[in-house]
Structure 1
Amino acid sequence: MTSKTAPDPARRSERSRTAVLTAAAELVTELGYGRLTVEAIAARAGVGKQTIYRWWPSKGAVVFDAFLDAGKHDGSLALPDTGDLAADLRTVLRASSDELSDPAADRTYRALCAEILNDPALYAEYRTRLLDPLLEVTRDRLRSAREAGRIAPDADLDLAVELFYGPLHYRWQYRLGPLTHAHADRLVDAVMRTLDPPADRA
């Protein structure tokens, strides 16, 4: 008598989750965030709407997860550490500039930012899963440079992180100009001047 293996609910759930995130990523590109609905995501993914609401409380939460999944943001963020702090920071800010200036993603990013700011639960997810880890690994990279004597021993790392990321997002948010690699490099140079060790300030 042939034995039958029972279906694995975990595997079935993971397939459904992947289908939902794929559908959300596709549809937000095709329709834009404003026209996107949970019903459309469910239909594209081949699942019931109740399945989506079992895992995500809102459309914004689904799109945020799809964004993290597409970017492979799995909580293991890290900054490069080649020993050259300025070069490492340029690598990071150039990549951020490229991402924010992608025309295909711009509308989605802006809509998602608005959702994050207006939905306390989604904001908490954003802080916990993306923003706070990113800021912490950046502080860690600056901390290692400070311990190696590459930057001033009294450097304010929290302020440095704000100076590093803040102007780029300000320029993007208000469409003040293109997000080029040259602009990213100038931002890094400005931050590095505030972090110079005392001997370099003379």
Structure 2
Amino acid sequence: MRLDASTPLPTGTLSRMPVVNSESRRARSGNRRDEAARVAVLHAADDLLVEHGFGALTIEAIARRAGVAKQTIYRWWPSKVEILLDTLIEDSDKHVPVPTGEVTADGVRDYLRGFARFLTGDPAGKVLLTLIAQAQHDPGTAGSFHERYLGPRRDQERDLLARALDAGVIAPRLGLDEVVDALVGPIVYRALVGAAVPDALVDALVDDLLRPRPES
């Protein structure tokens, strides 16, 4: 979350360079500055949410913490919810990606364990829980949350289970959509009420919902 200061070119440098190169250099420099400011805003919003909560989170406070102008923020995001969604999407992809390679039952379990740790121990997990809460009484938040995060993440999780089913490593007793809810729901609920999510709980969910039943 640090803004990188760009190094000015020596006097007369641009006049000695072909026009196409000077334009390209300015574009790249501007992109670097814009990316630094964007990252600073995302991290500022994340930090302030953890420190003060959603109600006290304002664009003005984010701008001060990030060291950017309010106009810069409003040019890129229409609201603090959209800033938090960008933070959540990037942090989720980085810290708890849905596996895309060869899948096993243990791989599904490990993903769910990681998701539980993300919700209960990562600042971005607080962003997710906050947006879930806000979505309950704000239709705008609910719409953006479902479209940008919940829908795509659910599709990835459903695909994960579908590949595991095709590979014969799980044998769910419910449909895939119901299994996603049954696996993720208890984890999210415990995080929402401030309870721990022990590995034993995740293991029990996986064993009960996904493991093939022994033949009697």
Q: Structure 1 length as normaliser, TM-score?
A: 0.78
Q: Tell me if the contact between 1:90 and 1:188 (Cα under 8 Å) persists in the aligned partners.
A: yes
Residues 146 and 152 in structure 1, CA contact (< 8 A), matched pair in contact too: yes
- Tell me how far apart the structure 1 counterparts of residues 40 and 131 of structure 2 sit (CA, whole Å): 20
Alpha-carbon deviation of 1:153? 9.0
Task: Supply the distance in 1 between the matched residues of 2:127 and 2:171 (Cα, whole angstroms).
Answer: 39
Aligned equivalent of 2:91: 70
State the distance in 2 between where 1:53 and 1:27 align. Answer: 18
Distance 1:68 1:189, change over 3 A: same
Q: Where does residue 66 of structure 2 map in the other structure? A: 45
State the TM-score, normalizing by the size of structure 2. Answer: 0.73
Residues 20, 42 of structure 1: 8 Å contact kept? yes
Following the alignment from structure 1 to structure 2, what is the Cα–Cα distance between the partners of residues 108 and 3? 45
Q: Which residue of 2 aligns with 1:18?
A: 39
Query: Which stretch of the first structure deviates more once superposed, 56-65 or 111-120?
Result: 111-120
CA offset digits 1:84-141 (Å, max 9, x no partner): 32x1121011111112222866755443322233333433332233222222222222
CA–CA separation in structure 1 for the residues paired with 2:83 and 2:156: 25
Of stretches 3-12 and 87-96 in structure 1, the one that deviates more from structure 2 is: 3-12
Deviation, 1:27, is 2.3
Residue identity in the other structure for 2:47: E
Percent identity over the alignment is 36
Give unmatched runs, 5+ long, in structure 2.
Answer: 1-11, 16-21
Give the aligned partner of residue 8 of structure 2.
none
Per-residue deviation, residues 23-75 of structure 1 (Å, max 9, x unmatched): 2223223333332211011122222212212221212221222233334459x
**Count of residue correspondences:** 195
Map of 1:192 onto structure 2 = 210
Whole-Å Cα distance in 1 between the matches of residues 151 and 136 of structure 2? 15
Are 1:125 and 2:136 matched, yes or no? no
Computing the radius of gyration from Cα coordinates, the structure with the larger value is 2
Q: Aligned-residue CA RMSD in angstroms?
A: 3.1
Structure 1 stretches lacking a partner, 5+ long: none
1:29 counterpart (37, 45, 50): 50
Instruction: Determine the structure 2 residue equivalent to 1:180.
Output: 198
Contact 1:80 / 1:88 at 8 angstroms: preserved in 2? no
Counterpart residue type for residue 49 of structure 1: K
| Conserved? CA contact 1:32–1:108, under 8 Å | no
Bigger relative contact order (CA 8 A; separation at least 6): 1
